[in-house]
């Protein structure tokens, strides 16, 4: 079974600075998707960015970018020019491309990193 | 276009009571999922559906049942609620199994 580990329970960054959130995962598969979701206090799960494992190029979405290291099974999220609205829980998630007929057919989430933005 | 909606937003149950959580999506997605989120944890998959009339067990299915009678709706039932089922429940949907899942706003359930 795949596992996702977020080793930073909480991170703090000054507004306008850059912060990197870490995520590592364990899998024996070669094809999969990785995601970062943001969960603000409203509890809504919002997709931040997605990375397909077969793509060597790191995904970017405006101020959000990832550093995908497939061999190291690492998938970190970099937030540039941090804004107060970025304050939230951030979850890293793994999605297999194989249909297993069981628990692995959903997203496998890490435990999350609480990001605090200092004004 | 409302995306994924969940009803109710919050509910308090007594141990042994039953209830049904409703999830609806208007994106014509084939796949729908129910997750639960407990404090300090990521989301865990309860049940899911790969199409109208189909359901399958996820990682933590015990104590829950589901039904997908219509493509746009996915119901999660608790037949006899237990305090261990106190959690926040999220519904999600996706066009195909591998694609991005879009989440509803969550239902907070408290079982006393």
| CA-to-CA dists, residue A3 to A6, A87, A89, B44, B54, angstroms | 10, 25, 19, 12, 27
Q: Does the pLDDT of residue A101 top 70, yes or no?
A: no
Smallest CA–CA distance, residue A87 to chain B, in Å, is: 17
Q: What is the mean pLDDT of residues B68-92?
A: 96
Q: Across the strands, what pairs with A51?
A: A34
Residue B78: pLDDT band with limits 50, 70, 90: very high
DSSP 8-state secondary structure symbol assigned to residue A39: E
Q: Identify the pLDDT of residue B10.
A: 97
pLDDT beyond 90 at A1 = no
Q: How far is CA B81 from the centre of its chain?
A: 15
**Any CB–CB contact under 8 A between B38 and chain A?**
no
Angstrom distances, CA of residue B27 to CA of A57, B49, B88, B92: 29, 15, 23, 11
With contacts defined as CB-CB under 8 Å, which chain B residues touch A99? 97
Give the distance from residue B4's alpha carbon to the nearest chain A alpha carbon, in angstroms: 11
Indicate yes or no: CB of B42 within 8 angstroms of CB of A111: yes
Residue B46: CB atoms within 10 A of its CB come to 25
């Amino acid at each position: 079974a795949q596992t996702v580990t977020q080793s930073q329970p909480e991170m703090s960054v000054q507004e306008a600075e850059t912060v990197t959130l870490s995520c590592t995962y364990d899998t024996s598969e070669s094809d999969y998707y990785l995601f970062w979701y943001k969960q603000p206090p409203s509890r809504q799960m919002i997709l931040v960015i997605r990375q397909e494992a077969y793509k060597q190029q790191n995904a970017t979405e405006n101020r959000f970018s990832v550093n995908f290291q497939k061999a190291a099974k690492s998938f970190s999220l970099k937030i540039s020019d941090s804004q107060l609205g970025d304050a939230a829980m951030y979850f890293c998630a793994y999605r297999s491309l194989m249909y297993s007929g069981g628990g692995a057919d959903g997203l496998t989430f890490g435990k999350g990193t609480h990001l605090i933005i200092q004004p | 276009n409302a995306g994924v909606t969940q009803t109710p937003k919050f509910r308090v149950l007594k141990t042994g009571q039953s209830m049904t959580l409703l999830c609806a999506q208007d994106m014509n997605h084939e796949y729908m999922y129910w997750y639960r989120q407990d404090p300090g944890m990521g989301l865990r998959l309860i049940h899911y559906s790969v199409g109208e009339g189909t359901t399958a067990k996820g990682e933590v299915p015990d104590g829950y049942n589901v039904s997908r009678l219509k493509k746009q709706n996915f119901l999660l039932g608790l037949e006899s609620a237990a305090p261990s089922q106190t959690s926040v429940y999220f519904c999600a949907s996706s066009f195909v199994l591998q694609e991005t899942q879009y989440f509803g706003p969550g239902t907070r359930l408290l079982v006393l």
